[in-house]
Structure 1
Amino acid sequence: MKAFKVIGILLLIIVGLLAAGGYYLYSNLNSLVKEGVETVGPQVTGTNVNLNSVDIALKDARAQFKGFSVANPAGFTTDNAFSFEDIVFDIDPSSLQTDVIVIDEMRISGVSITAEQKGLDSNLQALLRQINENVGGGSTQQEQAAEESAGKEIKLAIKKLVFSDNKVNLVTEKYGDYVLEMPIIESVNLGSASNGLTPAQMGKAIVDPLIKQAKKTAEKRLKKLAEENIKDKAEAKMQEKLDSALDDDAKEKLDKVKGLFGK
């Protein structure tokens, strides 16, 4: 569960500032959230976390992020482990002063996950190791600060979560690179107004279905590639055995017969 805290902390920063968003914060709210995400994120992931822009409407209890990305650990050729083009939160305004912040709908589009294999390791495994090392011992100072800004017992609930325009970038040493499309992913009732989830629990609930679908998509393609590779090797071996069993005269006759059929 610790591995998903970056998503939970991101949510906590947003709803915490919305809940506490007095007039003195209004003019700087977007930049405060952007700075918070880009400061706390790397301390959790151990890699760069970037957010291009933030647009928060306090009056409407709505927030929109554009260009959110988490960079790969060192040693991998691709830039990002995953990125989201657009994240939109529609928050129930009446919940902002309660212990459970309710997000009516969270829409994440332009999802791109990179699964890069390198030897016996992968970028996603390396990233998860770094996250566990950074937050495995309990709450970090950054988490505690975020919790204090949002309220001691703040929990989260999402009525509807949608991932759309999803893809997996599969990068392998053996089979090459592939871009694989994923279906729309929808989840409902992640926590409730009476029984909210902690930021870490919510981070896991958000990311789990996405990771499972990405894994399923990648494994399906890898299985097909492996089967094709085995088939090609079997055919090549069979041809090699056939060639070795024929003498030169038989090979010449066989080639003439093939020539009759344009082969």
Structure 2
Amino acid sequence: MFTRLKVLIAISFSSAIFLLVALFLLSSNLGRVIRNGLVILGPVVTRTAWSLEDVEISPWGGEGHLTNLRIANPPGYFRENAVDAPLIEVDVEEISYFDDVMVIESFRIADAQIRFEIAGQPRTNLQVLLESLSSAVIEDAGEVEGIDTDKLRSVIIRRFELVNASVIGQSQLAGELRLSVPALVIEDVGAAEGGISTVEAIQRTLGPSLEAARQTMRGFASQRGDEIQRRLQQRIEELEAKSGVESGEN
């Protein structure tokens, strides 16, 4: 009886150790899959370098965060990075790691800084990135050494959020301009298809994020343009009125 009890205790202890190791490995694998999906496949989409400082995923529930995601500017622009995202909160459905489709319950980018640059180029940096995004296809990933496109996982993102983001531009008159980008929420990315490639997921989330930043800066520029035009018209009318008075006096 005592021997049987010791065996049961040993089995229970071994099972607990095995479970902890399995959870740790699962967490590490999830983190590696997310990291690779961004820093390896991201450049396929934007044609610029991506870097990520750290990925931490909890082995107990799939929650975690990514720190300091940076997306480089296209060549020819002043700033090194077009996007700096200091914190991304993620929640992964862990059981989906064993399926063909990984389900990300939430992907929340907070306090991102997006650069808007012209730098003497015919197009802004965001236009160049958006054009690269729109033209990328999953087959482009085959150009990356070590990537087998037939083995890439599909993904569903239940909820994507961009919150507290800023778009930063440069003006000769006003210096640096920092504008708040309206919050962006996209739900069920890839759900209708039963999962999409990471390339498509980046297109459907990063694309609208960059476009929101671009439209924010364009809206501000349009308002400033209207204001300048109004002031110019007012000044012309003042000069014409003054000229008329002087002509009458003469």
Pairwise same-fold verdict (TM > 0.5): yes
Where does residue 6 of structure 1 map in the other structure?
Answer: none
Match of 1:122 among 97, 112, 124: 124
Relative contact order higher in (CA < 8 Å, ≥ 6 apart): 1
Alpha-carbon distance in structure 1 between the residues aligned to 2:149 and 2:60: 23
Counterpart code for 1:231: R
Counterpart code for 2:234: E
Instruction: Say whether residues 1:170 and 2:172 are aligned partners.
Output: no
Secondary structure of the structure 1 residue equivalent to 2:74: coil
- Alpha-carbon spacing, 1:41–1:143, altered in 2? closer, same or farther (3 Å): farther
Alpha-carbon distance in structure 1 between the residues aligned to 2:91 and 2:174: 42
- Alpha-carbon spacing, 1:174–1:75, altered in 2? closer, same or farther (3 Å): farther
Instruction: Say whether residues 1:156 and 2:158 are aligned partners.
Output: no
Alpha-carbon distance in structure 2 between the residues aligned to 1:34 and 1:102: 15
Alpha-carbon distance in structure 2 between the residues aligned to 1:134 and 1:80: 20
Most deviating of 203-212 and 22-31: 22-31
TM-score, scaled relative to structure 1:
0.68
Counterpart code for 2:167: V
- Alpha-carbon spacing, 1:56–1:189, altered in 2? closer, same or farther (3 Å): same
Where does residue 57 of structure 1 map in the other structure?
Answer: 58
Shift of 1:221: 0.9
Which residues of 2 match residues 1-263 of structure 1 at below 5 A? 37-38=38-39, 41-42=42-43, 45-119=46-120, 120-128=122-130, 138-142=140-144, 145=147, 147=149, 152=151, 154-172=153-171, 177-192=176-191, 195-247=194-246
- Alpha-carbon spacing, 1:229–1:239, altered in 2? closer, same or farther (3 Å): same
Most deviating of 53-62 and 216-225: 53-62
Question: How many residues were matched structurally?
Answer: 228
Shift of 1:127: 3.5
Counterpart code for 2:124: S
- Alpha-carbon spacing, 1:65–1:143, altered in 2? closer, same or farther (3 Å): farther
Most deviating of 167-176 and 218-227: 167-176
Q: Kindly indicate whether the alpha-carbon contact (under 8 Å) linking 1:106 and 1:160 is maintained by their aligned counterparts in 2.
A: yes
Where does residue 12 of structure 2 map in the other structure?
Answer: none
- Alpha-carbon spacing, 1:224–1:83, altered in 2? closer, same or farther (3 Å): same
TM-score, scaled relative to structure 2:
0.72
Shift of 1:136: 9.1
RMSD: 3.8
Counterpart code for 1:160: R
Secondary structure of the structure 2 residue equivalent to 1:76: coil
Shift of 1:101: 0.8
- Alpha-carbon spacing, 1:123–1:172, altered in 2? closer, same or farther (3 Å): farther
Structure 2, gaps ≥5 residues long: 1-21
Shift of 1:161: 1.7
Q: Kindly indicate whether the alpha-carbon contact (under 8 Å) linking 2:138 and 2:197 is maintained by their aligned counterparts in 1.
A: no
Alpha-carbon distance in structure 2 between the residues aligned to 1:250 and 1:205: 67
Alpha-carbon distance in structure 2 between the residues aligned to 1:26 and 1:136: 26
Secondary structure of the structure 2 residue equivalent to 1:216: helix
Counterpart code for 1:75: G
- Alpha-carbon spacing, 1:64–1:204, altered in 2? closer, same or farther (3 Å): same
What do residues 48-76 of structure 1 show as CA deviations (whole Å, max 9, x unaligned)?
Answer: 42222222334533442111111222332
- Alpha-carbon spacing, 1:86–1:72, altered in 2? closer, same or farther (3 Å): same
- Alpha-carbon spacing, 1:137–1:196, altered in 2? closer, same or farther (3 Å): closer
Q: Kindly indicate whether the alpha-carbon contact (under 8 Å) linking 2:130 and 2:207 is maintained by their aligned counterparts in 1.
A: no
Counterpart code for 2:228: N
